[in-house]
């Protein structure tokens, strides 16, 4: 379980997160939704210890992220940032292989190679494995970074907008793979903008607005016209298709 | 492995040529019988060839490490204030304790180079990430300011000639046995970079990605700083700064092979060695039996290579 206790965050004088207290369940796929600027990415980055905590405490399966050895944390959780600027010229397989670093510290074994191939396969990248990243499209590159995160093989996967830049076939493929990992016992937290992916694939939805938790619960409770309308400040309709909510937000 | 092999193979004939070429007459075949020939080989030609190879390899690696630290391809220790700070350290020792043993000079140069490079890294942290060209520009500005300080002090204290050799015309004509061995330490520092190759490559992905993988970006940064500073300082102490190697060689290698440093560092080292060796040989032949400093030859060859690099399409792999 990830326990967020009284976390606040400011950039300059602007409050980004205000006293967030939250529990993310283990073994579930949790979707983090909310309008731009709600603080989703900040919360995810703080949980992934990519930014220093200003106030509050976060524990991942009992380990305080402020005091636990960062190498040990890298085996416990893998995080995909929202933007992954490309500074280096790497081939897809080389990038994905870096995901195994926490396990081998520079001396990869056969298990590491197998995990890398599996991650490449899962993200439909096997044919592109020997291509340089700068020769790929934005969506293909995004999949390469997701594959690196998957290869890390951590108990917790924190993914910030993994579906950004993906076509619909690959977006569904990524969500299905994440659901598969959840079924295999892993815990997943994913920031999503496509509310319908959240409605269908997530077990648990946390909705944020203006640095606070606005709603929390299973999709059937959060994905209603009333709740979503308040969170996003817009009118929308929600239908039921095959027993799942379908949010008509584009009409 | 193929590029590494090809480069190593070009190193062999270049080294042989370097052993054979020089003002003094020497027949390699008579080394066994002629004590004069043996003396020239062991005291002059072999040390010089080794010094060139070590310098080229170490500067090539220092260039890659620098580029990974700042995530920018257009920098090298010669354009980020590292070389000028090393010269400042050397100058300070020359003034405070002129009789200090060589290792004290080496330490002073290394520490000053570290401080100068750390200053550069601090300065560029605040730059907007998208402005790729600001990083080398800030480096050039810092180098120029530090260089001006060095020149001013040198001018005031009548040490300009020494400074000229340190910073502008690195060359190998003064290398004999007993006067180049510090370069082995530079090579050892460069070898250290190879052991940490994955760390530097991961840091090249960005601080967030490195943290996510359980690395401490600051620790990797400090390690890189030590490698760059020690290599630069020792090269300056022994032969003087050689321009362009740290810039051109890593860029050529990255174009062809990418940035998986574990695989590319040996190639960069071999490439740096081959390029300096070739330029040193050219410098010895252009107006034989006199010499043109290798730095001057590289100024010409390096700029041509760099232009070629800019206009050539990268390998897509």
The CATH code of the domain that includes A30 is: 3.40.50.300
Alpha carbon of residue A173 to chain centroid: 15
Whether B5 shows a pLDDT value over 80: the answer reads no
Please tell me the distance in Å from A121's CA to the nearest CA on chain B.
20
Q: Per the CB < 8 Å rule, is A98 touching B202?
A: yes
Which of A60, A79, A88 best tests the B interface by mutation, with the highest count of B CBs <10 A?
Answer: A88
User: What range defines the domain where residue A205 resides?
Assistant: 2-85+155-248
Position A90 scores a pLDDT of 94
Give the C-alpha distances (Å, rounded to integers) separating B210 from A129, A147, B158, B228: 21, 16, 48, 20
Q: What is the pLDDT of residues B11-23, one digit of tens each?
A: 999 999 998 888 8
Beta bridge partners of A160: A191
Q: Which pTM does this prediction carry?
A: 0.91
- Of chain A, the percentage scoring pLDDT greater than 90 comes to 92
pLDDT number for residue B24: 80
Flag whether pLDDT at B1 surpasses 60.
no
Taking an 8 Å cut-off on Cβ atoms, the answer to whether A89 and B201 are in contact is no
First to last CA, chain B: 15
Q: Across the interface, do B209 and A84 touch by the CB < 8 Å criterion?
A: yes
Residues of A in contact with B258 (CB under 8 A): 88-91, 94, 132
Which tens digits make up the pLDDT trace of A153-168?
999 999 999 999 899 9
Number of structural domains (chain A) is 1
Please give the structure tokens belonging to residue B289.
């039996």
pLDDT tens digits for range A187-205: 999 999 999 999 999 999 9
How far is residue A164's CA from residue A138's CA, in Å, rounded to a whole number? Answer: 9
Look at A87 and B215 and tell me if their CB atoms are within 8 Å.
no
- Please state which CATH number belongs to domain B53-311: 1.10.3470.10
Q: Is residue A124 in a domain?
A: no
pLDDT of residue B314: 58
Model pLDDT, residue B313:
64
Per-residue pLDDT of B292-301, as tens digits, reads 989 889 989 9
Task: Please judge whether A78 and B317 are an interchain contact, meaning their C-beta atoms are less than 8 angstroms apart.
Answer: no
Q: What was the pLDDT predicted at B125?
A: 86
The minimal CB distance from A88 to the residues B205, B255, B315 is found for B205
Cα separation, B270 vs B58, in Å, equals 10
pLDDT for the residue numbered B308: 85
Size of interface A-B (CB pairs under 8 A): 85
Of the candidate ranges A83-97, A113-127, B79-93, the one whose mean pLDDT is the lowest? A83-97
- Find residue A187's DSSP bridge partners: A156
What pLDDT shows up at residue A221? 94
Which tens digits make up the pLDDT trace of B39-57? 888 888 999 999 999 999 9
Which residues of A are less than 8 Å from B129 in CB distance? 85
- Mean pLDDT of chain A, nearest integer: 94
pLDDT band, very low/low/confident/very high, at B317 (cuts 50, 70, 90): very low
**Domain assignment present for A98:** no
Could you report the per-residue pLDDT of B142-183, keeping only the tens digit for each?
999 999 999 999 999 988 888 888 887 788 888 888 889 999
Residue B194, CA distances (Å) to A91, A106, B23 in order: 19, 11, 37
Mean pLDDT of chain B: 90
Structure tokens at A133: 């990243």
Q: What is the pLDDT of residues A10-38, one digit of tens each?
A: 999 999 999 999 999 999 999 999 999 99
Which chain A positions have a beta carbon within 8 Å of B254's beta carbon? 89
List the domain boundaries for chain B.
Answer: 53-311
- Bridge-based pairing of strands A244-248 and A237-241 is antiparallel
CA distances from B173 to A96, B51, B86, B286, B299 (A): 47, 11, 22, 14, 17
Any domain includes A99: no
Pairwise CB contact (< 8 Å): B213 & A89? no
Q: pLDDT-based confidence at B130, cuts 50/70/90? A: confident
Residues of B in contact with A129 (CB under 8 A): none
Report the distance separating Cα B240 and Cα B177, nearest Å: 17
Write the residue in B198, B212, B254 that is nearest to A78 by C-beta.
B212
B123: which 2 tokens?
A: 């300065």
Complex ipTM: 0.91
Residue A132 has pLDDT above 80, yes or no: yes
**Residue that is written with structure tokens 């010895």 in the block:** B284
Q: Is the pLDDT of residue B3 over 50?
A: yes
The residue of chain A with its CA nearest to that of B200 is A88
Question: Which residues of chain A are within 8 Å of residue B218 when distances are taken between CB atoms?
Answer: none
Residues 6+ apart with CB under 8 A from B205: A84, A87, A88, A95, A98
Q: How confident is the model at residue B190 (pLDDT cuts 50, 70, 90)?
A: very high
Q: Is residue A142 part of a domain?
A: no
Q: Does B267 touch chain A (CB under 8 A)?
A: no
């Amino acid at each position: 379980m990830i326990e967020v206790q009284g976390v606040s965050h400011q950039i300059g004088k602007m409050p980004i997160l205000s006293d967030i207290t939250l529990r993310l369940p283990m073994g579930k796929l949790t979707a983090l939704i909310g309008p731009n600027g709600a603080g989703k990415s900040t919360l995810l980055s703080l949980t992934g210890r990519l930014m220093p905590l200003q106030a509050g405490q976060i524990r991942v399966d009992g380990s305080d992220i402020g005091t636990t050895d960062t190498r040990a944390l890298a085996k416990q959780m893998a995080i995909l940032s929202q933007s992954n600027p490309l500074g280096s010229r790497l081939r897809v397989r080389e990038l994905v292989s870096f995901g195994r670093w926490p396990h081998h510290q520079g001396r990869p074994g056969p298990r590491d190679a197998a995990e890398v191939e599996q991650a490449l396969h899962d993200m439909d990248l096997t044919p592109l494995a020997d291509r340089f990243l700068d020769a790929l499209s934005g969506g293909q590159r995004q999949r390469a970074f997701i594959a690196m995160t998957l290869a890390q093989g951590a108990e917790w996967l924190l993914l910030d907008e993994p579906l950004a830049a993906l076509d619909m076939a690959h977006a569904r493929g990524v969500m299905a793979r994440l659901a598969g990992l959840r079924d295999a016992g892993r815990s997943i937290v994913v920031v999503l903008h496509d509310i319908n992916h959240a409605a269908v694939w997530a077990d648990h939805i946390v909705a944020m607005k203006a640095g606070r938790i606005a709603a929390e619960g299973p999709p059937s409770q959060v994905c209603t016209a009333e709740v979503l309308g308040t969170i996003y400040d817009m009118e929308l309709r929600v239908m039921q298709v095959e027993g799942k909510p379908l949010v008509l937000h584009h009409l | 492995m193929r590029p590494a092999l090809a480069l190593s193979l070009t190193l062999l004939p270049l080294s042989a040529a370097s052993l054979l070429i020089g003002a003094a007459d020497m027949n390699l075949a008579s080394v066994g019988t002629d004590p004069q020939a043996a003396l020239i080989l062991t005291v002059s030609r072999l040390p010089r060839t080794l010094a060139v190879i070590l310098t080229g390899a170490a500067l090539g690696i220092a260039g890659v490490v620098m580029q990974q630290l700042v995530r920018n391809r257009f920098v090298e220790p010669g354009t980020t204030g590292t070389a000028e700070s090393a010269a400042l350290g050397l100058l300070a020792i020359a003034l405070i304790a002129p009789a200090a043993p060589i290792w004290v000079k080496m330490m002073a140069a290394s520490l000053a180079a570290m401080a100068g490079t750390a200053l550069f890294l601090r300065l560029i942290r605040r730059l907007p990430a998208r402005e790729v060209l600001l990083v080398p520009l800030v480096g050039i500005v810092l180098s120029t300011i530090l260089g001006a300080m060095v020149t001013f002090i040198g001018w005031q204290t009548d040490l300009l000639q020494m400074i000229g050799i340190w910073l502008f015309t690195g060359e190998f004509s003064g290398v004999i046995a007993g006067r180049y061995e510090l370069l082995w330490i530079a090579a050892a520092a460069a070898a250290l970079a190879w052991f940490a190759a994955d760390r530097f490559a991961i840091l090249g992905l960005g601080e967030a990605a490195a943290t996510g993988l359980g690395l401490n970006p600051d620790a990797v940064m400090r390690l890189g700083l030590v490698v760059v500073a020690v290599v630069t300082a020792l090269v300056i102490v022994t032969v003087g700064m050689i321009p362009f190697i740290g810039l051109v060689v890593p860029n050529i290698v990255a174009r062809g092979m990418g940035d998986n440093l574990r695989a590319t560092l040996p190639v960069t080292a071999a490439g740096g060695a081959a390029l300096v060796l070739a330029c040193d040989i050219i410098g010895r032949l252009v107006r034989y039996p006199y010499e043109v400093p290798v730095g001057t030859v590289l100024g010409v060859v390096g700029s041509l290579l760099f232009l070629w690099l800019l206009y050539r399409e990268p390998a897509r792999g």
